[in-house]
């Protein structure tokens, strides 16, 4: 390469860019992560949009959250009023707050679909176990963040939800009570609780952001799984940019259409009316319910008559995901090729929704009975069905490569 010639042809901007890239290859880094240098299977379907979407919603939440924090006052006597001031007097405050409050719900919708996609297509299996683990950790931190965020408006559900959930830790023998006092910063949910929840609610999204980096890094070691769940050769891969970037941009468009429809025409649809009543430690609401995205776990908690066992089951229902790569004994990743497992998988999804309904009802009568049956199925699915079906089932024959089916689908 005759450097003299080419360097005179290059513009000054090009040379400045190359000078900088030689010292800190920032653009190359992005290009390797989500650009032309990341080869992805050509047959990814629209369920693969939800990872990118989750990252998008995270950024949306941080941006709206930072603006809200500029106008919010984390004090028990002023928090509720400051939120109302945002709604009434801050320019576009109503929009920012409704985007943030509903953004939390949509974050969970997106992440649940993302997790179910991983479960269905066996994305947790070797060599993607660590990628899966980091995903579960992100989900756990998300739950903590959303829980503390819900406390900040200091409405009745904020206060009593915080009281119920923090009290769960008191079920731990011996050290339970001191832990709860430590969490509260006192002897009840009070101003110190609100202060620390605000501090942590501001911190944890950035922890999630860092975890997302690890998640994407762990993704890039083995590369993306695909709907067929088979190993993919270079011939069947296409560069992430422009193929999946444009597909993700389209996905964001569809997502925002649904999201904005709720933000602008049903902004309180997913919230509890009681949270528009200021927190009152002397008045316990007759029916304390957490936000919808916790309801299945709330149902598991209440399905078990013993408090400690209930708490263990509730946390266990999420922690079990960590060992899913080993509970699933099948060598086939994608449930598309697993006729028996597939049926029980969809049952599991329906089961989760029914659990959510149970969680929203008072724990008595039919909802309690149904909740217990569904809790049983929840654990049966992971601890019995997953390993047993993996051994017994005869999977359908896998295609040798994705070339032919992918081409067929494209035609």
Which residues carry out catalysis?
220, 224, 247-248, 291
Contact (CB, 8 A) for 208 and 144: no
Does 95 bind another protein (CB under 8 A)? Our answer is: yes
Closest among 71, 70, 92 to 82, alpha carbons compared: 71
Minimal distance, residue 89 CB to another protein, in Å: 9
Contacts of 314-320 with C-beta under 8 Å, sequence gap 24+, read: 314/168, 316/379, 317/378, 317/379, 318/136, 318/139, 318/140, 320/379, 320/382, 320/383
Does 250 bind another protein (CB under 8 A)? Our answer is: yes
Write out the two tokens for 98.
Answer: 């409704």
Write out the two tokens for 336.
Answer: 């598309």
Does 365 bind another protein (CB under 8 A)? Our answer is: no
Closest among 172, 168, 175 to 300, alpha carbons compared: 168
* Cβ within 8 Å of residue 191, ≥6 positions away: 75, 76
Considering only the stretches 12-20, 92-100, 369-377, 389-397, report the one whose residues sit in contact with another protein under the rule CB under 8 A. Answer: 92-100
Binder among 254, 309, 347, 388 for another protein (CB under 8 A)? 254
Does 235 bind another protein (CB under 8 A)? Our answer is: no
Minimal distance, residue 79 CB to another protein, in Å: 14
Q: Which residues 105-124 are close enough to bind another protein by CB under 8 A?
A: 105-106, 109-110, 112-113
- List phi, psi (to 5°) of 167: -65, -20
Binder among 34, 40, 41, 49 for another protein (CB under 8 A)? 49
Cβ proximity to another protein, 206 vs 264, nearer residue: 264
Considering only the stretches 126-134, 264-272, 339-347, 391-399, report the one whose residues sit in contact with another protein under the rule CB under 8 A. Answer: 264-272
Minimal distance, residue 237 CB to another protein, in Å: 11
Does 179 bind another protein (CB under 8 A)? Our answer is: no
Cα 398 from Cα 377, distance rounded (Å): 29
Does 104 bind another protein (CB under 8 A)? Our answer is: no
Contact (CB, 8 A) for 237 and 39: yes
Q: How many residues bind another protein (CB under 8 A)?
A: 60
Contact (CB, 8 A) for 37 and 31: yes
Minimal distance, residue 16 CB to another protein, in Å: 30
What is the SS3 assignment for 130-186? HHHHHHHHHHHHHHHHHHHHHHCCCEHHHHHHHHHHHHHHHHCCCCHHHHHHHHHCC
Cβ proximity to another protein, 175 vs 249, nearer residue: 249
Cβ proximity to another protein, 92 vs 206, nearer residue: 92
* Residue listed under structure tokens 């959930």: 165
CA distances to 65, 102, 114, 272 from 226, in Å:
34, 31, 13, 39
Binder among 51, 55, 161, 356 for another protein (CB under 8 A)? 356
Minimal distance, residue 324 CB to another protein, in Å: 21
Cα 156 from Cα 192, distance rounded (Å): 17
Cβ proximity to another protein, 229 vs 390, nearer residue: 229
Does 255 bind another protein (CB under 8 A)? Our answer is: yes
Catalog residues that contact another protein under the rule CB under 8 A. Answer: 42, 45-47, 49-50, 81, 84, 87-88, 94-95, 98, 105-106, 109-110, 112-113, 238, 242-243, 246-247, 249-258, 260-270, 272-274, 276-277, 286, 292-293, 295, 353, 356-357, 360-361, 410
């Amino acid at each position: 390469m005759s450097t003299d010639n080419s360097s005179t042809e290059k513009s000054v901007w090009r040379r400045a860019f190359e000078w900088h890239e030689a010292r800190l290859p920032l653009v190359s880094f992005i290009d390797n992560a989500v650009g032309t240098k990341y080869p992805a299977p050509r047959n990814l379907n629209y369920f693969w949009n939800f990872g990118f979407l989750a990252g998008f919603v995270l950024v949306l939440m941080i941006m709206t959250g930072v603006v809200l924090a500029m106008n919010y006052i984390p004090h028990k006597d002023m928090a509720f009023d400051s939120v109302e001031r945002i709604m009434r007097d801050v320019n576009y405050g109503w929009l920012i707050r409704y985007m943030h409050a509903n953004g939390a719900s949509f974050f969970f919708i997106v992440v649940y679909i993302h997790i179910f996609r991983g479960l269905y297509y066996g994305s947790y299996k070797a060599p993607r176990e660590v990628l899966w683990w980091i995903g579960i950790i992100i989900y756990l931190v998300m739950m903590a963040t959303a829980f503390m965020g819900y406390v900040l408006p200091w409405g009745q559900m904020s206060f009593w939800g915080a009281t119920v959930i923090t009290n769960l830790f008191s079920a731990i023998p011996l050290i339970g009570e001191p832990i709860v006092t430590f969490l509260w910063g006192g002897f009840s949910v009070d101003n110190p609780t609100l202060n620390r929840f605000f501090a942590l609610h501001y911190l944890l999204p950035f922890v999630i952001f860092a975890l997302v980096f690890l998640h994407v890094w762990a993704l890039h070691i083995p590369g993306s799984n695909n709907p067929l769940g088979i190993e993919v050769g270079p011939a069947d891969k296409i560069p992430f940019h422009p193929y999946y970037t444009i597909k993700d941009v389209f996905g964001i468009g569809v997502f925002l259409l649904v999201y904005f429809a709720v933000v602008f025409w049903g902004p309180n649809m997913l919230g509890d009316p009681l949270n528009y009543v200021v927190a009152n430690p002397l008045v316990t609401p007759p029916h304390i319910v957490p936000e919808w995205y916790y309801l299945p776990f709330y149902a598991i908690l209440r399905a078990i008559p013993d408090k400690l066992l209930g708490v263990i089951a509730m946390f266990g229902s999420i922690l079990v995901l960590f060992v899913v790569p080993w509970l699933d004994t099948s060598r086939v990743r994608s449930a598309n090729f697993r006729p028996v497992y597939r049926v029980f998988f969809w049952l599991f999804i329906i089961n989760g929704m029914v659990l959510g309904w149970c969680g929203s009802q008072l724990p008595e009568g039919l909802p309690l009975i149904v909740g217990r049956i569904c809790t049983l199925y929840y654990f049966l699915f992971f601890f019995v069905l997953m390993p047993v079906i993996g051994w017994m089932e005869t999977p359908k024959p896998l295609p040798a490569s994705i070339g032919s089916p992918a081409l067929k689908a494209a035609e």
